């Protein structure tokens, strides 16, 4: 089960596109119906999480909280991806990307962290491969 939660109010989120993106990523990596929460938040909320878990007192673009465990109810909990929409918006102002594309890139990045990829350990190459495959498809629709 994939749940998309929009806790911020300033920017509209096309939840179906992110649902489809994550469903396709689940298929590519051959995961069996994992529970994933993708949560879009304000800077204030992600700053609190960044401080609590990484001891960094600033907002960031994306945080991933991998669980990768089976619950007593039989569900496989992959984890949570938290994205700051205002931070993503500021980042895309310095690129040729729009907000939706930036959010998709951050979703892919967060998903790969849930799988165990990390910076300097293959996440960059894997992310580039996935981006080429999906970003154009979802961004155009």
* Cβ neighbours, 10 Å, residue 3: 13
Residue 72 φ then ψ, to 5°:
-55, -25
pLDDT of residue 122: 63
The confidence score (pLDDT) of residue 133 equals: 73
Please state the domain count of the chain. 1
Task: Say what the pTM is.
Answer: 0.87
Query: Per-residue pLDDT tens for 52-80?
Result: 999 999 999 999 999 888 878 878 899 99
Low-confidence ranges of the chain (pLDDT < 70): 120-122, 135-141
Contact 78, 67 (CB under 8 A): yes
Using CA of residue 100, residue 67, residue 121, residue 56, what is the dihedral sign?
A: positive
**Domain with 34 in it:** 2-140
Residue 17's CATH number: 3.40.390.30
């Amino acid at each position: 089960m994939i749940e998309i939660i929009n806790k911020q109010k300033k920017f509209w989120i096309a939840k179906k596109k992110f649902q489809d993106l994550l469903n396709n990523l689940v298929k590519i990596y051959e995961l069996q119906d994992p529970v994933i929460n993708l949560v879009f938040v304000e800077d204030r909320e992600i700053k609190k999480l960044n401080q609590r878990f990484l001891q960094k007192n600033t907002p960031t673009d994306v945080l991933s909280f991998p669980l990768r465990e089976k619950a007593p109810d039989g569900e496989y909990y992959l984890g949570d991806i938290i994205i700051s929409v205002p931070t993503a918006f500021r980042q895309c102002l310095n690129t040729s990307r729009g907000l939706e594309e930036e959010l998709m890139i951050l979703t892919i990045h967060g998903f790969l962290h849930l799988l165990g990829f990390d910076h300097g350990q293959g996440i960059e190459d894997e992310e580039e491969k996935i981006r080429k495959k999906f970003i154009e498809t979802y961004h155009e629709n």
